[in-house]
């Protein structure tokens, strides 16, 4: 499954470690939330970077105390129709200021890329190779956005306000 970051397919720097496998001493790893929370303090002292897979039916509040120690949070779309991870992503980015990589996993398809970017995701475990290749083109589909999110894009409402001000300023 190709990983897309910065608009193109890249190698995954993280090694996915199964719950029953031993955690390597160093190197970047991706582990489940349950595993991480069992020994959050200990793991935080690890040399390598840590990524956590957070289930979509659990409040992100439980992860908030550890945000500054996490390089990656992977959120889950069990099907693309289950939109809980969009709320989780926005809360992590906008309310809790998570600065690391926010990765979309699960059934990640082309037609949700724009929504995911707007919600704060910046890495995508894309299901289909063809979708991954089309990523850069797909995200250009929309140039106008009605509602504010943490992505910094100006909303249509505010662009209109700006236009009005510049109009009246030039009169």
Partner 1 sequence: MYAYDELDRTIINERVSEFRDQVKRRLSGELTEDEFKMLRLQNGVYLQLHAYMFRVAIPYGTLSTKQLRALAHVARRYDRGYGHFTTRQNIQFNWIKLAELPDALADLAEVGIHAMQTSGNNTRNVTSDQWAGVAPGEVEDPRIWSELLRQYTTLHPEFSFLPRKFKFAITASDHDRAAIKVHDIGLRLYKNAEGETGFEVLVGGGLGRTPFIGKTIKPFVHGHDLLSYVEAILRVYNQYGRRDNIYKARIKILVHELGIEKFAQEVEEEWLQMRDSALAIDDAVIEDIRSRFSYPAYEKLPHMPEELKKAAHDPHFEAWRKNSVFPHKVPGYAIVTLSLKPVGGPPGDATADQMDAIADLAEKYSFGEIRVGHEQNLALPHVARRDLPALWKALDKIGVATPNVNLVSDIIACPGLDYCSLANARSIPIAQELTRRFANHETANMIGRLHVNISGCINACGHHHVGHIGILGVEKNGEEFYQITIGGRADEQAAVGTLIGPAVPYGEVADVVEDIVEAYLALRARPEELFIDTVKRLGVEPFRERVYATR
In the DSSP assignment, the letter for residue 31 is E
Query: Angle 106-108-113 (CA atoms, 0-180°, nearest 5)?
Result: 145
Least distance in angstroms from the C-beta of 67 to partner 1: 16
75: β partners? 54, 104
Least distance in angstroms from the C-beta of 36 to partner 1: 21
Contacts (CB under 8 A) with partner 1, residues 44-83: 59, 80-83
> Judged by CB under 8 A, does residue 149 bind partner 1?
yes
Least distance in angstroms from the C-beta of 147 to partner 1: 5
> Judged by CB under 8 A, does residue 84 bind partner 1?
yes
How many C-beta atoms lie closer than 10 Å to residue 112's C-beta? 21
> Judged by CB under 8 A, does residue 98 bind partner 1?
no
Least distance in angstroms from the C-beta of 2 to partner 1: 16
> Judged by CB under 8 A, does residue 96 bind partner 1?
no
> Judged by CB under 8 A, does residue 143 bind partner 1?
yes
How far CA 115 is from CA of 78, 118, 167, in Å, comes to 16, 5, 32
Please say which residue, 36 or 112, places its beta carbon nearer to partner 1: 112
Nearest partner of 2 among 114, 139, 110, judged by Cα: 110
In the DSSP assignment, the letter for residue 81 is T
Answer for which of 130, 136, 162, 166 binds partner 1 (CB under 8 A) is: 130
CA torsion angle 80 29 21 31 (round to 10): -40
Residue with tokens 């890329």: 113
Q: How many residues does the chain have?
A: 171
Q: Which residues bind partner 1 (CB under 8 A)?
A: 59, 80-84, 86-88, 90, 95, 109, 111, 114-116, 118-119, 130, 141-149, 155-157, 159-161, 164
């Amino acid at each position: 499954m190709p990983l897309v970051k910065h608009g193109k397919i890249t190698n995954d720097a993280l090694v996915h470690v199964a719950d029953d496998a031993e955690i390597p001493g160093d190197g970047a790893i991706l582990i489940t939330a349950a595993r991480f929370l069992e020994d959050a303090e200990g793991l935080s002292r690890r040399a390598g970077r840590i990524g956590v897979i957070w289930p979509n039916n659990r409040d992100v509040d439980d992860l908030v105390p550890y945000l500054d120690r996490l390089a990656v949070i992977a959120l889950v779309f069990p099907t693309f129709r289950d939109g809980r991870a969009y709320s989780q992503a926005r809360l992590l980015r906008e309310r809790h200021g998570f600065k690391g990589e926010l990765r979309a996993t699960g059934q990640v398809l082309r037609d949700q890329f724009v929504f995911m970017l707007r919600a704060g995701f910046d890495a995508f475990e894309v299901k289909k190779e063809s979708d991954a290749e089309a990523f850069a083109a797909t995200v250009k589909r929309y140039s106008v956005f009605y509602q504010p999110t943490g992505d910094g894009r100006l909303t249509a409402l505010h662009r209109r306000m700006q236009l009005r001000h510049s109009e009246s300023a030039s009169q």
